[in-house]
Structure 1
Amino acid sequence: MNKPLSSEDIRRAKADNTDKRDRDLADSLGISEAELVAAHVGDTQDGMTVTRIAHHPDEVMPRLTALGEVMSLTRNASCVHERVGTFEDYKSGPHAAMVLGKEIDTRIFPKFWAFGFAIENETPKGLRRTLQFFDQSGDALQKIFLRDTSNHDAWQPLVDVLQLETQSPEITVAPRPPVEGAKINAEKRDDLVEGWKGLTDTHQFNRLASKLGMNRLGAYRLAGAPFVRKIAPSAVEGFLHKTSEAQQKVILFVGNRGHIQIHWGTLDTIKPMGPWLNVLDPRFNLHLRGDHIAEVYVVDKPTKRGPAVSLEAFDAEGGLIFQCFGQRADDTDDLAQWHDILANLPEDA
């Protein structure tokens, strides 16, 4: 068994690999990203200062408004979702909380939040300040980056009030839980179909699937037409271009087990780069690993306002990468353009 890396070992590796992203460096070292960050607590060398802070959303989220305009980042293993805006109304909840705002719109699952850090880092482009939050396995849930337009005067008072008494570079992380693959209960297909027909809100779907001993992906595989249509994974790039060309507004969800972030609006500038499919707009960026997409579905769920039709992508392990719905321009919009975009996507062979 290899000897565990000390904080000094981790800091040295970070100093020797300044060109690597933290997530990639942590993977190469066989540690979590949270352990990589924590190793710098109490060490001010190399122009980097890390402070351990409170991690519970109830303590953090209401205070973020003071920072003004920031960039909020949420990711999973296959997709990065970056949104510029100001943190506005925070609504607490023991199982699910949320931030509701014109630009920063998130859903938060507090039980998964385990570590928080405030980081100041001298870079060739100047001082970078971020707040970073991780789950029990040390995987990033949300990162908040201050910008030139942020209220930097609020930074230190925020760190002071959130700072923990214990400032140790050592943290203990749990093994990363495996991704839940598709759960199918073939004997319950008729019940699934009848329950699906009776949906009045998209949020009812997960409860329906769970009650029948299934999960989202399992239910999609089992239900079939007319509720679900399987799409070629390669069609996602074309979908992005078509959506951009049509100036179709969308509601795009990307998340992990502790945090979901939502973009409302258009997808204007599509830039594929190697395996990455990118949306590079002034206040919204998306970075999607096209080569990670294993299954894609057009999903039709009935609601009180009419059908909610989404495009949803999964990785090879069955993990949800993203969900995308059409956004109505106004109350008279029947989303015909959105439905047309999805109807013309090629089916999986």
Structure 2
Amino acid sequence: MSLSPADIRAAREAEPQARPRDLAVKLGIAEAELCAAFAGAGVIRIEAHPDRLIPALAGFGPVMALTRNESCVIEKVGTYDNFRPGPHAALVVNEGIDLRLFPGHWLHAFAVEGEGGKRSVQIFDAAGDAIHKIHLRPESNAAHWDGFVAGLRLADQGQSLTLTPRKPPEPPKANPDRADELRAGWDELTDTHQFLRLTSRLKMNRLGAYRIAGLPYARRLAPGSVESLLRQAADVAVPIMVFVGNQGCIEIHTGPIARVVETGPWINVLDPGFDLHLRMDHIAEIYAVVKNTQRGPAHSVEFFAADGALIAQVFGVLRAGEDAVSQWNALVAALPEGV
């Protein structure tokens, strides 16, 4: 039996300290339903489409941008300047916040006022899973809030949502009969973005292709390689690019990392303006991957959950210069091989 908005509010009042995502899981509802149940009581339903929403965020100045999937959370502090719209993919590109947005999945959005003056904007997909969140900070322009909400407020402020069932991640798809075609196409890449078009044409996907490509294209790594890589990258302060996303948003950090901390099953990067939280026990397969680009070979470490979902990717920064790229490539090459 589904919970009514009143039931959801009562459950939240009984557990006021629970994280929204954790409480939603416990109640067997989507996190968006938890938000919607409080419409009119600290929550306002607003337009979700990035073309309307993202430009309006710029007026807040510095905020924290958060994107997550089941196994990894990335948080960056910056402004929502330099938005580039697109019907299928949009961008926010600046020094602080670097996003790839897929508007077709931005379906439900809320302006949330919490206890202690906390304010956030939260966007969810058709299943009610969080796509992206924006949290105001002490230095944010709080005076922009009322105008922001008024400009995006929906006429429908109902407390219930119509959601569609969540689609499971696509399992690994390999086509061993076309492995030679895969390698030949891989050799012809001039941009990493061409890779998914190649695998789609061959009726494969990313993980399936990595499993059959072999050297020098992809090398499976041993468990623990991600944690080792993050610590070593911090030790030598080599710049990296970290990509974390879901079907509606990919968020990117570019630069060196410094403070890497292990807490229970989590490995965390806790730096000024950048936090990363990764569930180590969710990592089932890790690959060192090389793809050709116009700037030269791009070496990455990419890791997947047991259900085949991509958790995150870590690249070197090709524009950082030859020394930095060589240093990164050496770190990746030294990671132990797995089975």
**How much has 1:305 moved relative to structure 2?**
1.3
* 2:192 aligned residue: 202
Q: Which amino acid aligns with 1:247?
A: A
For 1:334 and 1:197, how far apart are their aligned partners in 2? Answer: 24
- Note the alpha carbon deviations across 1:66-85, whole angstroms, 9 max, x for none: 00000000000000000000
Deviant stretches of 4+, over 3 Å: 328-334
**How much has 1:234 moved relative to structure 2?**
1.5
Q: May I ask how many residue pairs the two structures share in their alignment? A: 339
- Note the alpha carbon deviations across 1:162-199, whole angstroms, 9 max, x for none: 00011000111111001101011111111001000111
* 1:7 aligned residue: 5
- Note the alpha carbon deviations across 1:70-112, whole angstroms, 9 max, x for none: 0000000000000000111111111111111111000001111
* 1:120 aligned residue: 113
* 1:36 aligned residue: 34
For 2:321 and 2:4, how far apart are their aligned partners in 1? Answer: 58
Within-5 A mapping of 1:224-243: 224-243=214-233
- Note the alpha carbon deviations across 1:93-137, whole angstroms, 9 max, x for none: 111111111110000011111100000011xxx210000000000
For 1:329 and 1:205, how far apart are their aligned partners in 2? Answer: 20
* 2:242 aligned residue: 252
For 1:128 and 1:88, how far apart are their aligned partners in 2? Answer: 22
* 2:66 aligned residue: 73
Could you list the runs of 5+ residues in structure 2 that have no partner in the other structure?
Answer: none
Q: Which amino acid aligns with 2:113?
A: E
Q: Secondary structure at the residue paired with 1:82?
A: strand
Match of 1:319 among 304, 309, 314: 309
**How much has 1:333 moved relative to structure 2?**
4.0
- TM-score, normalization by structure 2: 0.98
* 2:102 aligned residue: 109
RMSD of the alignment, in Å? 1.0
For 1:20 and 1:348, how far apart are their aligned partners in 2? Answer: 38
For 1:29 and 1:152, how far apart are their aligned partners in 2? Answer: 33
Within-5 A mapping of 1:54-203: 54-122=47-115, 126-203=116-193
For 2:57 and 2:32, how far apart are their aligned partners in 1? Answer: 21
Q: Which amino acid aligns with 2:211?
A: R
- TM-score, normalization by structure 1: 0.95
The reply to whether residue 346 of structure 1 matches residue 322 of structure 2 is no
For 1:15 and 1:201, how far apart are their aligned partners in 2? Answer: 50
Match of 1:24 among 9, 19, 22: 22
**How much has 1:332 moved relative to structure 2?**
4.4
Cα–Cα, structure 1 residues 269 and 19, in superposed 2: closer, same or farther, change >3 Å? same
* 2:265 aligned residue: 275
Q: Which amino acid aligns with 1:168?
A: G
For 1:224 and 1:156, how far apart are their aligned partners in 2? Answer: 55
The 8 Å contact of residues 249 and 329 in structure 1, kept in 2 or not, is answered as no
* 2:254 aligned residue: 264
The percent identity for this pair of structures is 50
